[in-house]
Chain A
Amino acid sequence: MKFVKKSPWILHYDGSSCNGCDIEVLACLTPLYDVERFGIINTGNPKHADILLITGSVNEQNIPVVKQLYEQMAEPKVVAAIGICATSGGIFAECYNVVGGVDKVLPVDVYVPGCAARPEAIIDGVVKALAILEEKSKDARKKTGK
């Protein structure tokens, strides 16, 4: 059984965003969208999380932070870039300190476009991420021979 699909725990990291997408991510937890219906929990702890949601672009300052968060997560794990800033840099792309989208530093699995990405789109992105997560856990099990 693939239980990871039934209990995806999320870590949300805010890069250099305008906070628009952050609010939308948090809106998913409110009674209106209630992602806990799908067993989704916002953990705030990389060691407990399965999905890393990143909003906002990556800049010179937060590259080590993003990398460290990713490395601390237990396998299998996926990364979802939320909002156009996280996918390509968005309106901040030209800034002197902005490196670009999250995929400049981490292997991103799901891109959720939008400025700001709507909660429906974010939930959709998480569901896509779950399918990838399942693939990854299958591969991981094959590798370890279990």
Chain B
Amino acid sequence: MNILMNIGFVIAAPIVGGLLTGVDRVITARMQGRQGPPVLQPFYDVMKLIQKESIEVNSMHRFFVYISMVFAIFATTILITGGDILLAVFALTLGSIFFVLGGYASNSPYSIIGSERELLQIMSYEPMVLLACVGLYYADRSFFVKEIINNSIPAIVYLPGLFIGLVFILTFKLRKSPFDLSMSHHGHQEIVKGITTEYSGRDLAVIEVTHWFEVIFTLTLVYVFFATNAPISRVIAIVICGLVYLLEIVIDNAFARLKWQQAFTSAWIITGTLGIVNLMILSYFR
């Protein structure tokens, strides 16, 4: 029963992720006074890309995005089946690194710029993600999501600072402005889409689906902060995930893209103040 439910979650993850990106596009369009595409547009895009020709720049170049997707699926699976949060975070980072390698592999100046910026982004958000994991351990004495979400007090009570910091760096992971330096999901932007420049057809579809998994991964991190053993808290946690996603869409539309220096320093300052102070206070009381 439990295994079946877990398999169901893993199959539902990209579908929900795709729907969320569709909703994102509609809301973004409405904010700009446009009607926007249908909600299922991301699925149409991916299906079209699958039917198109994939241009091969060299043999490695394609391999990296597939590996990257495997790690994204692996990380999301660990997280939503209640596994070790640290392992999930590292698996996702590994996936991102393979994605960066894919950008370097093609030798196109555009995708190399994308790769370099993606590395800077990883450097910006990774400390905060790790601190969040450490904080969750401090609060709930476990790295296992299963156990963290089965306590009677939600982790947010102990970790408000870490949560705000996490929401801040989610903007990197969701590839939203002001921090979508390496590849933007809007057409004709961020140096013509950075790492994805040389990818076409099926490979581009794989990148898109990987992003859906990443969306679910990041929202699951938000969920973990609010869920407790009371069933009602699970509902509240899902509602909060939706609100956080909405907030990210608003931020995406309201802010201009920052330079990498500003993105990097602001992320580290937030990590340094909110994250560390929160952990220090917590270690004092526990």
Contacts and interface: CB of A to CB of B under 8 A. Distances in A.
At the interface, is chain A mostly helix, strand, loop or mixed? Answer: loop
Contacts of B53: 74-76, 140
Interface in B40-70: 41, 44-45, 47-48, 51-55
A3 B44 contact: yes
Interface in A52-102: 72, 74-76
Contact of A48 (B25, B38, B200): B200
B286 interface: no
Contacts of B204: 48
A44 interface: yes
Contact of B193 (A3, A37, A48, A141): A48
Contacts of B33: 31
A9 B34 contact: no
Given A3-B47, A6-B48, A45-B192, A37 B35 contact: yes
A39 interface: yes
Nearest to A37: B35
A36 to B, nearest CB: 5
Interface residues of B, number: 30
A132 B76 CA distance: 40
B201 to A, nearest CB: 5
A124 interface: no
Interface string A115-146: 00000000000000000000001001100000
Contacts of A39: 37-38, 41, 44-45
B252 interface: no
Contacts of A45: 192-193, 197
A39 B198 CA distance: 22
A41 B187 contact: yes
Contacts of A140: 53
Given A42-B187, A45-B192, A3 B55 contact: no
Nearest to B38: A39
B52 A36 contact: no
B51 A4 contact: yes
B72 to A, nearest CB: 21
Contacts of A44: 187-188, 192
B32 interface: yes
Contacts of B25: 36
A33 to B, nearest CB: 9
B193 A36 contact: no
15 contacts: A1-B47, A3-B48, A7-B45, A31-B33, A31-B34, A36-B36, A36-B37, A37-B36, A37-B37, A45-B197, A48-B196, A48-B204, A50-B52, A75-B52, A75-B53
Q: Which 9 A-B pairs have the closest CB atoms?
A: A44-B188, A3-B47, A3-B48, A6-B44, A41-B187, A47-B200, A34-B34, A31-B33, A74-B53
Given A7-B45, A38-B37, A50-B52, 9 more contacts: A3-B48, A37-B37, A39-B45, A47-B200, A74-B52, A74-B201, A75-B53, A76-B52, A140-B53
Interface of B: 25, 29, 32-38, 41, 44-45, 47-48, 51-55, 187-188, 192-193, 196-201, 204
